[in-house]
Amino acid sequence: MSLKGPTPSRRPATLLLLALLLTGARRDKGPQAPQLIEQAEATAATDRAAAIASLERYLSGSPSPEVLPWAKVWAGEQRRLAGDDAVARGWFEAAALDHPSHELKDAAVLGMALVDAQSALSGNTLATIQLKDPSLAPATMRADRLRILARAAVSDGTVTRKVREMAAQAVELAEDDPQVQDRLRMVLADLLTEGGRVEAPPTLDPQGKPLPPQASALVRVRASLSKGQPEDAARQATSLIGSWPDTPEAEQARWLLKRAEAKDPTVAGRVGVLLPLSGELAQAAARIKEAITLANTQTGGAMELVFVDTHNSADKAKAAVEELVLVKGCVAILGPLHRDEVAAVSPIAQGLGVPLISFTQSGEPTAGGEFLFGGFLSMQAQIEALVAHAMDGRGLRRFGILHPRTSYGDNARDLFVSAVTRRGGSVPHVVPYAPDDKDLRDEARLLGQKHGARPEKGKADPPTIDFDALFLPDSFRRATLVASALAYEEFPVGSFRPQFGGHGLLLLGLNGWNNPAVVDEGAEYMRGAVFVDAFLPDQGSPATAAFVSMYEGSFNREPALLDAVVYDTTRVVSAAVQAGGSDREEIRSQLGKVRLSEAATGAIGFGEDREIQRQMLVLTIGPSSIELWQPETGP
């Protein structure tokens, strides 16, 4: 454990042992704890949340003055053990301040010191832990006190017999709380056996706080694998699984144990690629394979690519991940393509600790853990760029949404509403429609707040339009159907103006509109509509033009968005694999650091959400083609 503050780095164990003898370690004398406290301790052994609820329910009622300080200290202790440090400290402070002359005050102050030690063990905190009388404190508190004292005693690397006795006594004190006892056995393992190594400094999360013990144990398993020590990793993983069998960390440890038992084969630069090379997605998969191969060639062939046909089967994809990692020693995996395959393999890749960079646009490919990356064009990135254009670029504040009643449409709706409201806008009207409905006039009437039956032929009733733009998250063909239904119901869309007049209603879409056919099929109703995408072959940046020329020269065809996105993502992965070598953990870290200076799709690199960040293009449907949107200029 690293020590902060004025405390010297080398501390004689005799000082700590003397403090231990003076303050005692076991509660052999003193008043008997109230029955409420004994019941709470017994409950906490199997259900800590229930114990906390029992104590805090008692405290919120009409507690007995004799029991009140006990309940506060024990409520604080159970909260501390549950990881609720702020609440725990609140209860300890209340016990110390409200009952300054009570015999439990030392226990309350000790509890505060143990909470403080979670973030930094300063000299003052250590002195408090040493000198406060623990005799009436909860057994788990006394156990953690001994754990800290034992660790502090060996800060100079010395493990004495007395230190080992303190470690053993800490474990013994926690015998009535199996979870705490298991944790102590894990973190004091080197002091409980002869010849053990001194514990490394505590593992911290990104915010600098110590990780829970099972998470720290998982970090140590991965570290042993990264150091080429599979035997140590196997021992650590087995211990973790036995100590916390029902935790997510244990599930990941089971996968890491497989790596350790397989002697963790790793081949620097070897990258697996999961694609449905046969079946209905074979054509798209073949283009992805070509784009990956081209990018690898252009980056010096740094990766040894191992292509695997998943046959568009989640089961085959799952088996392939294990084969690629445990047998072939791949250090990263590109793919899969289909959402169902990504969902199936993500827990395995996360468990095995191998970076997985998928090419799905749907679902949440990065939600399962820090080894999962999204290499395609995410819906959220598109919507953020679209809303930024509409609100920041055009000053629009109120929006309507017409969306298909599908998972895609529902997700787009939710992301759009969130992005708008975060910027202070509003979405007063949201109307869903059946995904296979070809007549959308009823939905258009509902959006326009038209009530009652449709007027007789030749007559029309105007819509009420109290919003600035309309979001249509659907394919360009479905969007043209929606636009024509809106025009039928007298909405001023595109260049169409109804008999009632009115300013044009801006239509907003996503990259599903990026098809040249939208110009003719959308006709006047889609003219001027705006959408976002990452790639426009003939109107992009110099980097885009260079990629298009190279791609056409290689394959004798114009690249599509899929080709360009996969090409840029592969370049990022290639750079990370070169930097990380055979260390999967380091490759994962490098994926978050690599930055592209030039990219065909505006790609920059992976962001904190592990999705590729891009500078999106704002496109508009012109009279004869899709064009880059340009702001209006004055006369």
pLDDT one-digit tens code per residue, 292-327: 999 999 999 999 999 999 999 999 999 999 999 999
495, pLDDT greater than 80: yes
- What tens digit of pLDDT does each residue of 448-464 get? 999 877 777 667 788 99
> At which residue do the structure tokens 């853990």 appear?
369
What is residue 120's predicted lDDT score, i.e. its pLDDT? Answer: 72
Do 143 and 279 belong together in one domain? no
Length of the chain measured in residues:
635
What is residue 633's predicted lDDT score, i.e. its pLDDT? Answer: 58
User: How many Å apart are CA 535 and CA 473, to the nearest integer?
Assistant: 18
Do 391 and 435 belong together in one domain? yes
Confidence of residue 156 (pLDDT cuts 50, 70, 90): very low
Q: Is 86 exposed, middle or buried (0-12, 13-18, 19+ CB in 10 A)?
A: exposed
206, pLDDT greater than 90: no
Do 218 and 335 belong together in one domain? no
> At which residue do the structure tokens 């056995």 appear?
185
Do 550 and 506 belong together in one domain? no
Element at 78 (helix H, strand E): helix 68-81
Do 464 and 579 belong together in one domain? no
Of 237, 235, 244, the C-alpha closest to 212 is 244
User: How many Å apart are CA 479 and CA 378, to the nearest integer?
Assistant: 20
Torsion on CA atoms 527, 530, 531, 536, rounded to nearest 10: 70
Cα dist from 340 to 304, 334, 352, whole Å: 26, 15, 19
Q: Which two tokens stand for residue 572?
A: 């990022």
User: How many Å apart are CA 121 and CA 88, to the nearest integer?
Assistant: 17
The reply to whether omega before 212 is within 30° of 0 (cis) is no
User: How many Å apart are CA 335 and CA 289, to the nearest integer?
Assistant: 10
Edge-to-edge order in the sheet of strand 270-275: 304-309, 270-275, 332-334, 356-358, 372-374
- Average pLDDT score, the chain: 88
b/e burial code for range 618-628 (CB count within 10 A of at least 16 → b): bbbbeeeebee
List the CATH number of the domain containing 67: 1.25.40.10
Give the mean pLDDT of 403-428. 96
User: How many Å apart are CA 258 and CA 611, to the nearest integer?
Assistant: 28
User: How many Å apart are CA 139 and CA 131, to the nearest integer?
Assistant: 17
* Distance in Å from the first CA to the final CA of the chain: 70
Do 329 and 459 belong together in one domain? no
180, pLDDT greater than 60: yes
Specify whether the CB–CB gap between 618 and 628 falls below 8 A.
Answer: yes
CA atoms within 13 A on the CB side of 540: 26
243, pLDDT greater than 80: no
Residue where one domain finishes, among candidates 476, 507, 533? 533
Give the mean pLDDT of 195-220. 67
468, pLDDT greater than 50: yes
What is residue 502's predicted lDDT score, i.e. its pLDDT? Answer: 72
In a domain, 492, yes or no: yes
Pairing of strands 603-606, 530-533: unpaired
Instruction: Quote the DSSP letter at residue 632.
Output: -
How many other C-beta atoms lie within 10 A of the C-beta of residue 251? 14
Do 42 and 107 belong together in one domain? yes
Do 404 and 502 belong together in one domain? yes
Residue where one domain finishes, among candidates 204, 235, 261? 261
The domain of 438 spans 379-533
Residue where one domain finishes, among candidates 504, 533, 562? 533
Instruction: Quote the DSSP letter at residue 198.
Output: P
Cα dist from 463 to 473, 481, 482, 522, whole Å: 21, 18, 15, 21
Do 286 and 239 belong together in one domain? no
200, pLDDT greater than 60: no
Do 304 and 243 belong together in one domain? no
Q: Choose between 494 and 28: higher pLDDT.
A: 494
- What tens digit of pLDDT does each residue of 34-58 get? 888 889 889 988 889 999 999 999 9
Q: What percent of the chain has pLDDT over 90?
A: 65
User: How many Å apart are CA 281 and CA 359, to the nearest integer?
Assistant: 13
Per DSSP, the three-state class of 280 is coil
What is residue 257's predicted lDDT score, i.e. its pLDDT? Answer: 95
Q: Which two tokens stand for residue 310?
A: 């998943």
Q: Which residues contact 37 (CB under 8 A, 6 or more apart)?
A: 67, 70, 71, 74
16, pLDDT greater than 80: no
Q: Which of 48-57, 409-418, 587-596 has the lowest mean pLDDT?
A: 48-57
Q: Write the single-letter amino acid at 142.
A: R
- What tens digit of pLDDT does each residue of 538-584 get? 877 899 999 999 999 999 999 999 999 999 999 999 999 999 999 99
